[in-house]
Amino acid sequence: MRMRLRVEQDIFSIRQLGREVARAVGMEAQDQTRMATALSEVGRVLLAQGPDADVTFTAELYGVPSLQVTMAHSAVGGASRLAEQLQQVGRLVDTMEVDDGGAGTTVRMARRLPPGAPVLTPSRMDEIRAGLAHHVPGSPLDELAVQNQQLIAALDEVRAQRDDLARLNAELEETNRGVMALYHQLSDELEETNRGVVALYAELDEKSVQLRAASEAKSRFLANVSHELRAPVTAIIGLGRLLVDSSSDELTEEQARQVELIRSSASDLLTLVNGLLDLAKAEAGRIEPSWSAVDLKAMFGQLRGTLRPLATRPEVDFVVDEPTVSTIRSDEVLLAQVLRNLLTNALKFTESGSVRLSVRRIGPEVEFVVADTGTGIPPELHERIFEEFYQVPGSKPVSGKGTGLGLPYARRLAGILGGGLRVDSVPGEGSTFTLQLPVEGT
Ligand code: ADP
C-alpha cells in the first residue's frame, strides 16, 4: 500500500490510513492508535523539511509477523537531526531507523503483530488491499473527533491504572506492615530464646565446675581415707597372724576359727582399700606413666606364670598366645596391671571353655584382646560395668571375690596410657575386652 504526502492535510490522511492498515492486519485498538500517531508525527516532521514524501506499508509474513512502514523524503543530509527529533516517536513502535542515502532520507518503522492476529496469507493480503482501496479519508474535523475519543479513552485508562496502582500500593503497604510486625515478633522471640540459651550455658558451666569440684573432693576423700585405713587394717592382719603363730599361746579350735575369720575379712578390706587408693590416685591424675620399650614376649610370659595358679579349673583352657608384636612404647607396670585385671575377671567368670590373651597390630595401634567363654554381660550393662563398685546383678564369680573397682581402674589406666578399653559380650557366650594402645606411646 502506498501513499504520497504533499500538503499538511495529508498528515490527517496518513494518520487515518495508518490506523486502518493497523486494524486490517489485526493490531489491537491501542496499537492502532500508536501506529497512527507515529505515522502522523513522522509525516509532520518530514513535511516540515519540504513537500513530497512517499509512504509504503508492507507486511513481514515470515518469522515474527510485523507491519512495516517506510517513509522516504527527497531532502538529503538531515538524518541525525531527524533521528533526534523522532526519539520520542520511536517509543511508539518496536524499531525505528533513520537512513540518509544518496537519494534522500528514509524513516523505517516496524511493529510486531499480536500473537492472536489472523495469519496474513496472500489471499488475506489481497482482501486487505481491496478493503483499503475503498477507504475514503475523512475530513480533519472527523479525525479530530476520533483523536479526542481516543484521548478520552486513554485518559480513562490512565485513571483506572492510577486507581489500580494506588490500591496495589495500599495493599503493599499493608503487607509490609504485616511483614514488619512478624519480623519484630520473630526477632523478639529470637532474642528471648538467645537469652534463655545463654542463661542455660552459664548454668551448665556452673554445674560442670561444681561437678568437677565434687569429683575432685571425692578423689581427695578416697585417697585420704584409704590411706588412713591401710595402716590399721595391715595391723589387724599382722596381729591375727601373730595370734595363730605356733610360738604364741595355744588357741582353742573355736578361737582359731574366729581369728582366721578376722584375718580373712581384714585382708578383703585391705584389697578394697588398696583398690580405692589406686583409683583415687588415677582419678586425681597422680599417676605418671614411665615410658619405655616394653618387651611383650617377656610380659606375656610373666602373666602366664603369675596367673596360671588362678586357672584352677580343668574345664577352662588358659591360653596366652605368643605376641605377634614384639615391643611397644608404654608403661610396663601399668600395662601389666590392666591385663592382669582383665585376665583375673575372665578367669573369675568362666566356668568352662577358654580364657585367651592375644595381641594384634592395627595401623599405628595395638589391640590386646582378652576373650573368654564365660557368663557374658547383658548389652545394656556394657558401660555400667566401668562404673565404680558396679557389679552385674546376680553374676557370681566362679572363684574368688570382687570389689567392683577392677574395670574402672583398668579403664583409667588405659586412658593414662593414651588408649581406651571396650567390651563386646553376649550373655551365655562370653566376653571380649579389647585394650587399644598406641604403638609409640604418647
Ligand atoms: P569385680 O571386682 O567385681 O570383678 P570389676 O570392675 O572388675 O569388678 O568388674 C565389674 C563387674 O563386671 C563384675 O562384677 C562382673 O559382674 C562384670 N564382669 C567383669 N568382667 C567380666 C567377664 N569377663 N565376664 C563376665 N562378667 C564380667
Number of domains in the chain: 3
The answer to whether 386 touches 349, Cβ cutoff 8 Å, is no
How far is residue 161's CA from residue 329's CA, in Å, rounded to a whole number? 88
Is residue 268 located within the same domain as residue 295? Answer: no
Is residue 341 located within the same domain as residue 372? Answer: yes
Is residue 82 located within the same domain as residue 205? Answer: no
Whether ligand 1 lies within 6 angstroms of the CB of 395 is answered as: yes
Whether ligand 1 lies within 6 angstroms of the CB of 347 is answered as: no
In this predicted structure, the answer to whether residue 336 has a pLDDT above a threshold of 80 is yes
- In the block, which residue shows the cell 579350735? 253
Of 286, 312, 328, the one marking the end of a domain is: 286
At 229, the pLDDT band (50, 70, 90 cuts) reads confident
How far is residue 31's CA from residue 94's CA, in Å, rounded to a whole number? 11
> Which atom of ligand 1 lies nearest, measured to the CA of 375?
25
How far is residue 388's CA from residue 391's CA, in Å, rounded to a whole number? 9
Is residue 125 located within the same domain as residue 6? Answer: yes
Describe the strand order of the beta sheet including 420-426 as a list of residue ranges: 316-320, 353-362, 365-372, 430-438, 420-426
> Which atom of ligand 1 lies nearest, measured to the CA of 395?
16
Rg of the Cα trace of the chain? 53
Whether ligand 1 lies within 6 angstroms of the CB of 349 is answered as: yes
Q: Environment class of residue 158 by beta-carbon count within 10 Å: exposed (0-12), middle (13-18) or buried (19+)?
A: exposed
The CATH number covering residue 311 comes to: 3.30.565.10
At 280, the pLDDT band (50, 70, 90 cuts) reads confident
Cell of 324: 605377634
DSSP conformational letter for 119: P
Cα 391 to middle of ligand 1, angstroms: 6
In this predicted structure, the answer to whether residue 248 has a pLDDT above a threshold of 90 is no
Is residue 299 located within the same domain as residue 419? Answer: yes
Residue bearing the CA closest to ligand 1, atom 23: 346
Cell of 371: 576373650
Output the pLDDT for position 384: 96
> Which atom of ligand 1 lies nearest, measured to the CA of 350?
24
> Which atom of ligand 1 lies nearest, measured to the CA of 405?
6
Is residue 122 located within the same domain as residue 202? Answer: no
Cα 404 to middle of ligand 1, angstroms: 7
- Mean predicted lDDT score pLDDT of the chain: 91
Q: What count of Cα atoms within 13 Å lies in the side-chain half-sphere of residue 297? A: 4
Output the pLDDT for position 292: 95
At 215, the pLDDT band (50, 70, 90 cuts) reads confident
Cell of 296: 611383650
How far is residue 241's CA from residue 59's CA, in Å, rounded to a whole number? 129
Whether ligand 1 lies within 6 angstroms of the CB of 353 is answered as: no
Please choose from 347, 349, 429 the residue to mutate so as to test ligand 1's pocket, defined by most ligand atoms within 8 A of CB. 349
Whether ligand 1 lies within 6 angstroms of the CB of 344 is answered as: no
Output the pLDDT for position 120: 87
Is residue 26 located within the same domain as residue 109? Answer: yes
pTM summary value: 0.56
Whether ligand 1 lies within 6 angstroms of the CB of 346 is answered as: yes
Whether ligand 1 lies within 6 angstroms of the CB of 330 is answered as: no
Is residue 243 located within the same domain as residue 313? Answer: no
Whether ligand 1 lies within 6 angstroms of the CB of 331 is answered as: no
pLDDT digits (tens, 9 = 90+) for 349-400: 999 999 999 999 999 999 999 999 999 999 999 999 999 999 999 888 888 7
> Which atom of ligand 1 lies nearest, measured to the CA of 430?
24
Output the pLDDT for position 436: 97
pLDDT digits (tens, 9 = 90+) for 158-206: 999 999 999 999 999 999 999 999 999 999 999 999 999 999 999 999 9
Whether ligand 1 lies within 6 angstroms of the CB of 375 is answered as: yes
Q: What is the domain extent for residue 80?
A: 2-137
pLDDT digits (tens, 9 = 90+) for 57-115: 999 887 889 999 999 998 887 788 888 889 889 999 999 999 887 778 999 999 999 98
Is residue 133 located within the same domain as residue 198? Answer: no
Is residue 145 located within the same domain as residue 189? Answer: yes
Cell of 107: 524513516
Output the pLDDT for position 143: 81
Of 251, 286, 321, the one marking the end of a domain is: 286
At 315, the pLDDT band (50, 70, 90 cuts) reads very high
Whether ligand 1 lies within 6 angstroms of the CB of 372 is answered as: yes
Is residue 307 located within the same domain as residue 376? Answer: yes
The answer to whether 36 touches 15, Cβ cutoff 8 Å, is yes
Give the CA-trace dihedral at 297, 299, 303, 305, to 10 degrees. Answer: 70
Cα 370 to middle of ligand 1, angstroms: 13
Cell of 153: 479513552
Is residue 130 located within the same domain as residue 145? Answer: no
> Which atom of ligand 1 lies nearest, measured to the CA of 433?
23
> Which atom of ligand 1 lies nearest, measured to the CA of 372?
23
Of 137, 156, 173, the one marking the end of a domain is: 137
Output the pLDDT for position 24: 93
